[in-house]
A and B are shown apart, each in its own frame.
Chain A
C-alpha cells in the first residue's frame, strides 16, 4: 500500500471534487442553492483549492513522485494547476449572468465544472499513461455534457454529440497507441517508458513509431491542432459561451500540460523522431487556423479558428525543446488564458438572447455605443494578433525566438507571416467597431457586474503581462521540465 501521507498531497484534487459533489448534494434538497449561491460556493472552493495547492507546493520542494510513480508534484504541474484554477474561476464569473438568463438548473452545471477541473488537475500531475488517460476521460466526459447543457437548443445538443463522437474516436486511437507503447516498453509509467522505448528503438522495433504516432494523434485532437481540429469550430459555436471559453482556456491548458509531459518525459528519448511530425502539425495549424478564420463571420467561429492557430504557435515552442522554448510556452498560455477569457466575455456581453449577437456586424458602431467596451475589445484583439504593449506580443516574440534558436527558422517565418494574416480578421472587428455606424444608438447595458469585472481584469492582466513581463517570466520559469533526450 502507498503511504497514507501521500493522500495529503492529493488534497487539492480531492477538495475540488468534493466541492463539486457537495454542490450536487445540496442541489437535491428543496429548490437547491440557486444560481448565485452555487457560483459563490464554487468560487470559494476554487479559492480554498488554490490555498491548498500553495501549501502542497511549499511542502514539496523540487519534484516528488507519488503512488508508485503514477503521480508527480513538481513546478510544472503546479504552474498548470494554478492556470486551470484561474481559468475555472473566470468561467464561473462568466456563467453567473448567463445561467440566470438561460433558466437552466445551476447546481449540476457548477458541479460538473468543478469535477471537470479536478480531472484537469489530475491530468497536470499524471505521470503514467494510465493516470493521464483516465483523468483526461474524466475531463472529457464532463466537457461533453457541459457543451450540451443547453438542451433546448439544437446547436448545443449537436455540438455535444459531435464532440462526444469525435472525442471517443480520438480516445480509442490514443488507447491503441498506449497499448503499442506498452508492448514496446513493458510499462506505462512515463519515466520507465522513456528508458524502455530507447531500448526498443535501438532494437529497431517499428511498434515504437506507430505507438507514439497514434498517441500523439489523440493528443493533437485535444489541443485542437490540424488535422485533428474538425470538432473545434462547431463545438465552440454550439456550446454555451462560458463553456466555449472554458474549453478554449482551461481544457486547452490541461491538454497542453499532458502533451508536453508525454512528449518530454515519456517520449523524450525519441525527440529526433517526433520533431518532424510536430513541426508539420504546428505549421499546418498556424496556416489553416489563420486562413480559415479569414472567412468567418461568426465571432465565436472566428475565435475557434484563431484558437487552432494559437495551438500551432504553442506547438512551435514545444518543438524547440529548450529552456526558453518551454517557459515561453508557459508564459504564452498564461497570457492566452486571460486574452481568450476576455474576448469571450465580450462576446457574452453582446449576446442578446443566448445565441444572437455573435456576428461581426453586431460589433458595428460599438465605439459610439460604449467606448469603454470597444477599447477593451481592441486590447484583446491586439493581444491575439501579438502587437505590443500586450502579453500576446511578448508571448509570440519569445516563441519565435525559441524556434529560431533551436534551428526552426522556417517555422518561425510561417508564424510571422500567418500572424500578419491574422491582423486582417482581428482588425475587421476593430473597423466594424470604430468605422461603421450602428443600427441602434443605445449604449450596451453593463448589466452584469461579474462580466464587466472579468473583462476589466483580463484587459489589465493582458496589459500588465505586456508591460512588465519579468515577474511572469519568473513564474513561467518555475515550471520548467527537462527533456530526457536532449
Chain B
C-alpha cells in the first residue's frame, strides 16, 4: 500500500516537475508546480511528517504559488519567444545536469545507512514533540525568521511601490541622460 502511494506520487512529482521546467507558458508551469508540491506533501505525510505536509499545502500551494500566479497574470507574461540560450550552452548545462543527476543517484544508493526504515513511532509524528524542538533547540532561528519576514515585507513594498510624486518629477530629466549612455 505504502509502496503504491509512493510510486504514484513520486511519478506525479517528477512528471509535474518536468512540466514546470519545460513548459513555455509560465502559467502552466506554475500550475504544474502545484502538482509537484502536492505530491511532495503526500510523501511528507508518508514519511511521518503530517504537520509539515499540511503546511506545504497551505503555505506553499495556497500562498506562494497563488502569489506567483497573481504576478504572472498582473504582468501578463505569455509564452516566451526565445527561451533557448543557444545550443552549446544549453547542451553543456543539460549534460552537467544529467551527470550530476546520475552521480547523485549512485551516491544516494551507495550510502551505507540501513536500507529499510524503522516503523513510525508516535513520538516522531507527535506535533507536541515537533513544537518543543522548534521552541527549544531552534528558538533563535525562529526569532531570526521574524526578522527575515520583516525585511521581506519592507523590501517587497520598497521594490514594488510606485515612485512618489517627487521621485517621478526627477525622472523625466534623467531619462534623457540615461538613454545617451551606452549600456556596458
Contact = CB atoms under 8 A, between A and B. Distances in A.
B2 interface: no
A154 interface: yes
Nearest to B133: A68
A70 B138 CA distance: 7
Interface residues of B, number: 41
Contacts of A103: 166-167, 170
B139 A67 contact: yes
Find the residue from B145, B157, B174, B181 having the highest chain A CB count within 10 A.
B174
Contact of B145 (A128, A134, A183): A134
Contacts of A153: 174, 178
B159 A148 contact: yes
A160 interface: yes
A142 interface: yes
Nearest to A70: B140
Interface in A99-126: 103-105, 108, 111-112, 115-116, 118-119, 122
A128 B140 CA distance: 10
Interface in B30-45: none
Interface residues of A, number: 56
Given A2-B139, A103-B170, A203-B112, A135 B144 contact: yes
Contacts of B113: 205
Given A21-B150, A105-B164, A138 B174 contact: no
A207 B108 contact: yes
A1 interface: yes
Contact of B159 (A104, A105, A160): A160
Interface string B150-161: 111011011100
B154 A1 contact: no
B183 A155 contact: yes
A115 B170 contact: no
Nearest to B168: A152
B72 interface: no
A154 B150 CA distance: 26
Contact of B155 (A10, A112, A204, A205): A112
Contacts of B158: 108, 112, 145, 149
A354 interface: yes
Contacts of A142: 151, 155
Contacts of A24: 154
A137 B110 CA distance: 33
A179 B95 CA distance: 24
Nearest to A144: B155
Given A112-B158, A131-B140, A205-B112, 18 more contacts: A10-B140, A24-B154, A67-B139, A71-B140, A103-B166, A115-B150, A116-B151, A131-B141, A131-B144, A135-B144, A138-B148, A145-B158, A151-B159, A152-B163, A154-B178, A206-B110, A237-B184, A355-B178
27 contacts: A1-B135, A17-B147, A103-B167, A104-B167, A105-B164, A108-B158, A111-B154, A115-B147, A118-B147, A119-B144, A119-B151, A128-B141, A138-B147, A138-B151, A141-B151, A145-B154, A149-B158, A151-B159, A151-B163, A153-B174, A155-B183, A206-B107, A206-B110, A206-B111, A210-B107, A298-B184, A355-B178
